[in-house]
């Protein structure tokens, strides 16, 4: 039995990122940037866009990179978080749907 290759480590203290997932495209990163809140979890997530990365931070925790896992499907390596942007009729991102293990379909509304 062979061991799976380890994912490369990021900057000091950052969790490793899966090597096969591309970064979030600039246009999507810009559209995602903002603050999202879930009343159900009483939690706030902040997505920041920079020229070289799109990151997400939960509350006051350090931001972690988001990676593109498919059309409108984003992954953060910390806690195996999956985010799906939800859009209005004009295509504007109005909220995010979170899936994380057994927690599914939690909606975070854009503030």
* Beta strands, E only, the chain: 34-38, 43-50, 53-58, 64-70, 73-76, 81-87, 93-100, 103-110
Q: Residue-wise pLDDT tens for the chain (111 aa)?
A: 444 444 445 455 555 544 578 999 999 999 999 999 999 999 999 999 998 899 999 888 899 999 999 988 999 977 689 999 999 999 999 999 999 988 899 999 999
**34-64 per-position pLDDT tens digit:** 999 999 999 999 999 998 899 999 888 899 9
Task: For residue 63, give the nearest of 49, 83, 51 by alpha carbon.
Answer: 49
Q: What CATH number does the domain located at 26-110 have?
A: 2.40.128.50
């Amino acid at each position: 039995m062979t061991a799976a290759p380890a994912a490369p480590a990021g900057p000091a203290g950052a969790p490793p990122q899966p090597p096969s997932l591309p970064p979030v495209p600039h246009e999507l990163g810009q559209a995602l940037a903002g603050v999202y809140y879930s009343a159900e979890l009483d939690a706030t997530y902040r997505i920041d866009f920079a020229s070289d990365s799109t990151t997400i931070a939960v509350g006051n925790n350090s931001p972690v990179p988001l990676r593109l896992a498919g059309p409108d499907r984003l992954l953060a390596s910390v806690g195996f978080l999956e985010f799906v942007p939800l859009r209005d009729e004009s295509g504007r991102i109005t909220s995010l749907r979170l899936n994380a293990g057994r927690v599914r379909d939690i909606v975070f509304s854009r503030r």
